[in-house]
Amino acid sequence: MKRVFVSGCYDIIHAGHVQFFEEARALGDHLTVCFASADVLWLHKRRRSSLPDDHKRAVLEGLRMVDAVVVGCGLEEGIDFREHFLRLRPDVLAVTEDDKYGQLKRDLCAEVGASYVILPKTPPKFEPVSTSGIVKFIRAPHEAPMRVDFGGGWLDVPRFARPGTYVVNCAISPTVSLRHWPYERNAGLGGSGAWALLNGHDGVKAELDLGVGWQDPAIITEGGLCVWKSGLHPELEVKHSGDFLRGRMALFWTGKQHSTPGVVNQARDYDGIVRAGALAREGVWSGSIEKIAAGVCASYGVQRGEGMDALAGEKADAALMACRPLAWKYCGGGFGGYAVYLFAEPAQRDAACLLPGFRPIEPYVARTA
């Protein structure tokens, strides 16, 4: 009988592990799988085991290609299975191409005359996953807010950052989930940041990798009405519940999608953006919708200077102007997508939301346990 031995953490068993076990079992007539004990996992990975050791053993023993299971309890990193290996004296030790402890395992094989076999990477039967990826997905929230920005947009892009300036934005509901997305796509509300968060990814890194700024994942993760310091990474200056905005915000769909990465390098009035961020910041600190509206008006002025189309309101739309909006601007990079409107009173906002293209939104603060 030709005996094959494999070892690993195998903390959360997934299809990649099953495929590896199948390929290792094909090298001989008997497969022994060794998994790292909970103590070893904590010692070397600083991670709690997903299951008690006896449960994990039962799961592995239940796999049709596995003939025996042992628990690695040795404290030597990479070869916690030394005692079992010397006792069982298998014919083959099978490893993956990315194994980090090759020389240690080769030396161990030499002690018992076993073959050290590196299994080549074969096309996966399923999209590859990792234990750390599974853990991130499990820990990811089930829902996330979107966001509107009031002033200082683009100052969160590292190459456009200016010390002493500010970005002001607000997380909003209705929320989104992987199964329910009640907004238009590519619409300037931070959808890519929300999507990254829902999938357990580092949203800030994902946005910076796209060449844009960090404000979307920062506010979507934080919640509330926030002022951020301009810089290379998110630094929160102040967070407000945004209660004075409740009943006073609406979105208007312009009818066309937009792409922030597509306009990131366009020339724009950064001095005007700085002024808009400063005005909106005053509104957060003072709890004043009128001061936030001043920042929004300043932001819209910059957007119009870039050549964005006039929004309803500036066009003197009689039905909308009867609702007396305080201010409006495109969300995100503009040139399409959603626009945010502010109103002095809830009744005015609600009346506007009876008009085509308008919908109510509210400030979002994450629920606490």
Helices (H), the chain: 15-25, 38-45, 53-61, 82-88, 102-112, 131-139, 191-198, 203-209, 215-222, 260-263, 270-286, 289-305, 318-321, 346-352
How many other β-carbons are positioned within 10 Å of the β-carbon of residue 183?
Answer: 19
pLDDT 10s digit of each residue in the chain, 369 long?
999 999 999 988 888 899 999 999 999 999 999 999 999 998 988 878 888 999 999 999 999 999 999 999 999 989 999 999 999 999 999 999 889 899 999 999 999 999 999 998 777 676 666 666 776 777 768 899 999 999 999 999 999 999 999 999 999 999 999 999 999 999 999 998 898 888 887 767 766 666 678 999 999 999 999 999 999 999 999 999 999 999 999 999 999 998 887 888 889 999 999 999 999 999 999 999 999 999 999 999 999 999 999 997 766 688 999 999 999 999 988 899 999 999 999 999 999 999 999 999 999 997 644
Which one of 79, 113, 136 terminates a domain? Answer: 136
Residues 149, 262, single domain; the answer is: yes
Which one of 81, 108, 136 terminates a domain? Answer: 136
- Residue 315, SS3 per DSSP: coil
Tokens at 269, concatenated: 């009035």
Q: Is 113 left (phi over 0), alpha (psi -120 to 50) or beta?
A: left
Phi, psi of 117 (to 5 degrees): -115, 125
Residue 27: predicted pLDDT? 97
Residues 46, 96, single domain; the answer is: yes
CATH number at residue 76: 3.40.50.620
Residues 238, 93, single domain; the answer is: no
- Residue 280, SS3 per DSSP: helix
- Residue 171, SS3 per DSSP: strand
Indicate the DSSP class of residue 308.
P
Domain presence at residue 198: yes
Domain presence at residue 369: no
Domain presence at residue 106: yes
pTM over 0.85: no
> How many distinct structural domains can be found in the chain?
2
Domain presence at residue 95: yes
Residue 369: predicted pLDDT? 43
- Residue 49, SS3 per DSSP: coil
The answer to whether 27 and 4 have CB atoms below 8 angstroms apart is: yes
Q: Which residues partner with 146 through β-bridges?
A: 172
Residues 324, 187, single domain; the answer is: yes
Residues ≥6 apart with Cβ < 8 Å to 309: 254
CATH number at residue 173: 3.30.70.890
Residues 111, 13, single domain; the answer is: yes
